[in-house]
Amino acid sequence: MKNRKNFKKVLLCLISSLLTLVALLPNPQVFAEGMDAQLVIHKKKMLDFPQQEIQNTGKEMTEFNNYQGLADVTFHVYDVTESFAEARKNGATIEEAKAIVQSQTSGTALLSGTTDAQGDLSLALPKKQAGKDAVYVIEEEAKSGVTAAANMVVAFPVYELIKQSDGSYQYGTEELDVVHLYPKNVVENEGTLKVKKVGSAEGEALNGAEFVIVKEDAGVAKYLQGVAQGMYTWTTDKSKAKHFVTGKSYEIGEEDVAENEAEKGQMLITGLEVGEYVLEEVKAPENAAMITEQTKTPFTIVAGSQTPVELTVKNDTTKVEKETPQLDRQDVAIGEPINYEISVNIPLGIADKEGSNNKYTTFKLIDTHDPALTFMNQSTGETGYALYDGETIIDSTNYHVTEQTNGFTVTIEPTYIPSLTPGGTLSFVYYMHLNQLAEPTQGYNNEANVDTGHTTDQTPPTVEVLTGGKRFIKVDGAVADIKPLADASFVVRDQDEATAKYLIIDPVTKAVAWTTSQEEATIFTTTSDGLVDITGLSYGTYYLEETKAPNNYVKLTERIAFKVDQQSYAVAGELVAPEKVPNKHKGTLPATGGKGISLYIFLGVVLLTIVGAYWLKRPKVK
């Protein structure tokens, strides 16, 4: 019996001890709900403080919905419970005690936090500190371009402030576990961005490039969208971003972004807040290509600066140049090899990617020429073609040349295109010649262009060459009117010397050549119209030499100098009158002993007889 009583006593002691231990254990749920409050800071930005101060009520307030949140603002919370209690103990009112502790922000902060992309910050704070109602000072850390709000004092317990019909506020009876605060800030938005858009070919100003402006708030990308409350608004949806275009200027309007004209290639944006941004190009102008390295350009608007931030952004553009480097004139002889060179700037973004693929998969040089020009399609020899990257010759396995009617195309192999030098010069050197279709003084064009799959030259260069000629007419020099003479033969010499070369004109190709052998020279022989038509010569002075005169005419002993130029053959499409080449007729005396001389002797005898008879019969003077 005694043992049973002892057992009961021991059991009761154990139960009592367990109950005591359980009572001493903390209860997290009760502490969180009963002892902690959630403080939510809504940071709003303004250009000016409201004319009538808006009272924080402790609840969420729709009055601030029109204002944008201010991200990346840091707040520090300081525990001033003891100082507040001491002030109250010394007779200070609540408002006086708040004023006393408002500036007490030295030492280590109890808690710190930074507003998110929406300008919000949530902090969990104990309602009690050392058994007393907690009092906290909330200090805003300075941020460039932002006028900070005054320190806020929060004293627990916090009750909702309710606006009365007369405009005054009175505390309600509900203690708040979630307290909303709306500190006001004035931000600076006097920044200006000035963008100059140029092409890579010639630094030419480009209109029509489209950009968006991006900033990062609390790690979230935001795009400038519109205007509200006199400031730019921002969105996280890139598809809703405002597109800014070169050739325009932009400023904050009453309800939206106001747009005006600007200088060609320029873009001006005013009203930007202090901060860091990225200018992102989203569309290149027509006939231009974006360059990956220049698609996104960071810039910073500095507080208090009145100087615009200036950026120059390039697009790849194309400029083709064509020349005849070995020809210092326009005139050539038919068949004479003409050295041409097509040059084009290589895009700065030639090695850019679009996803995992090369951006540039096409690079072609395109030549178009008149039918009177012939492309000398050969890769070897003195007149062979070659492709250069700068001064380096490109192996012929990396490109191919395709000839078509009145033109040809140089196509670079797609796999080789990214190997070209960014911003360098691609040159194709080749030869052509005028053919049998060429007429004197008529210009024959050769045009070049490029196709990169993104750009071409809108004003492709054209090189004009021409050839010359001269016309002569063989006439009887004794006749006043023109009497053409047939069967006169001529050769053309390049100098008025016995050692001068002779002109050869191929009867099929009309190609011009020169020889030292008269037997190889081209003979120009007049027909019934007496004309000698010499064409296909380059400009200069030549000499016409008669090798055979017409029947019964004396052959010329002197060479005739003639000049070939733009007006020697035709002017304004009309043929120039041929130069006369007169010949003298030979004498008509018959041979000795012929009938002609007998007649003259007979007539002479008759005349002498008549004179003698008259002399004998005349009266004699005495």
Question: Which domains are assigned to the chain?
Answer: 30-186 (2.60.40.10), 188-313 (2.60.40.10), 320-465 (2.60.40.740), 468-583 (2.60.40.10)
CA distances 330 to 307, 407, 571, Å, are: 53, 20, 17
Q: Give me the residues paired with residue 409 across strands.
A: 366, 402
Confidence of residue 6 (pLDDT cuts 50, 70, 90): very low
Q: Is 565 helix (H, G, I), strand (E, B) or coil?
A: coil
* E strand residue ranges, 380-461: 386-389, 392-393, 399-404, 407-412, 425-434, 444-451
State mean pLDDT over 46-69.
Answer: 80
Backbone angles phi, psi at 117, to 5 degrees: -60, -25
Q: What percent of the chain stands above pLDDT 90?
A: 76
Confidence (pLDDT) at 168: 86
Percent helix, strand, coil in the chain, to 5, is: 15, 45, 45
CA distances 55 to 60, 122, 158, 167, 292, Å, are: 12, 20, 14, 11, 51
pLDDT of 9 over the 50 cut? no
pLDDT of 602 over the 90 cut? no
- Which residue is associated with the tokens 């939206």? 256
- Which residue is associated with the tokens 């038509």? 533
Taking the C-alpha atoms of residue 555 and residue 545, their distance in angstroms, rounded to an integer, is: 10
Task: Fill in the amino acid letter for 540.
Answer: G
Across the chain, mean pLDDT equals 89
pLDDT of 205 over the 50 cut? yes
Task: Write the burial class of residue 382 (CB in 10 Å: 0-12 exposed, 13-18 middle, 19+ buried).
Answer: exposed
pLDDT of 16 over the 60 cut? no
Q: Give residue-wise pLDDT tens across range 17-44.
A: 433 333 333 333 333 334 689 999 999 8
Confidence of residue 611 (pLDDT cuts 50, 70, 90): low
Q: Please, are residues 259 and 219 in contact by the beta-carbon 8 Å criterion?
A: no
